Structure 1
Amino acid sequence: MNIILIGDSGHAKVIADNVISSGNQVVARLDDKYTVLFQKDDCWYGPSSEVHSLIEKESAKVIIAIGSNPVRRKIVESLSLQPNQYATVVHKEAIVSPSVTIGHGTVVMPGVIVNAAATIGNHVILNTRLVIEHDCIVENYAHVSPGSMVTGGVKIREGVHVGAGATVIPMKEIGQWSIIGAGSVVIDDIAEFSTAVGVPARVIKSEENAVKTVNR
């Protein structure tokens, strides 16, 4: 499968490796730091506005290769592509149960384990060597960082960022667009638009007006 990446920075390099290792080919790297479309080493570079013509020209699908959850969502909304125009890429070294559901635009990195009956949404990043246990829900635009452990029955709502090496104990819920700090241990539900850090994780910031910020 031919893949167009939206984004050409550090995270995009990791996504590109993931695409290639999965037997696919990166045919374009689009980023608004470019002002014109050009080709180099059999790959197209240019602004993201070129995506529609390149999808047809290269018979390609798209991945948003941006680590920031709000930015990723903003780009998806601005492009107005159909769900079937996005790819889902699972690294060959990931272990994903056959009973798992994974949405479009999602990338599963090497060493990831996703166990039975988990549901993974659209445009999610499951980063290197994390574990998503049975019956978890990870909603759209979430990013679970390397080395995290999400235990059984956890709900990670839209736009959540779970920091590297964090742990969430069973049956807890992390509200939409919240941030869990690296190495934290979540033992209680976390309200939406919160930042929680520590062992055990405690909310250090709660943004009542964050809904307006996210929806701008």
Structure 2
Amino acid sequence: MNKTVYVIKLIISIVIGVVGGYLLYNFALMDKVPTMLGDTIYMLSSILTMILSMVACTFIVYLITGLKVNPIVFKVVVALYFLFLLFVLYGRNSSIREMNFNLIASLQELTTDSESLLQFILNIIVLMPIAYFFKNKGVIFTELIFLAISFGIEIMQYVTARGFFDIIDIVCYMIGMNLAYLFFRLTKVDIVKRK
């Protein structure tokens, strides 16, 4: 591919990713993530959520178009992603320690409460990028890591009283990471420029 075509493809991908990310933020995330984290950090969480939704959509466009990312940019984005995860998963003020093991009741709530359904979808999506790092690992090892991550997040939320242990969240995390793992295994896609 010549340089001009590459630059045009790059610019179009970035524009589509940024616009798509903003639309995702505007219509689905703007009031959800910041509200979950509390009013004290509303502005910071809003800006962070908007930026990360734009970056995530740009990466998705890169995956679709086959463009590659500079390794340094990739490392910065990964660091920002993990900071975002810490922020989203443990940035809430809860002070309530609760455990919910009733999967059936949680699934029934999805049919009646749009807020719960959105939370369900976001929980599926939020850990999907982690699967990228395990795309070349064996299935059993990867499943054990995914289980450990999922249970670890929920246990830490319970212990720190920054949320509560919910079995439906574990199911969502597992669904999301496994879907992404399957995608990366089948497509053998790599978005990082290799020397």
Q: What's the TM-score once normalised by structure 2's chain length?
A: 0.30
The answer to which structure has the higher helix fraction is 2
- More RCO (CA 8 Å, sep 6+): 2
Greater share of residues in strand: 1
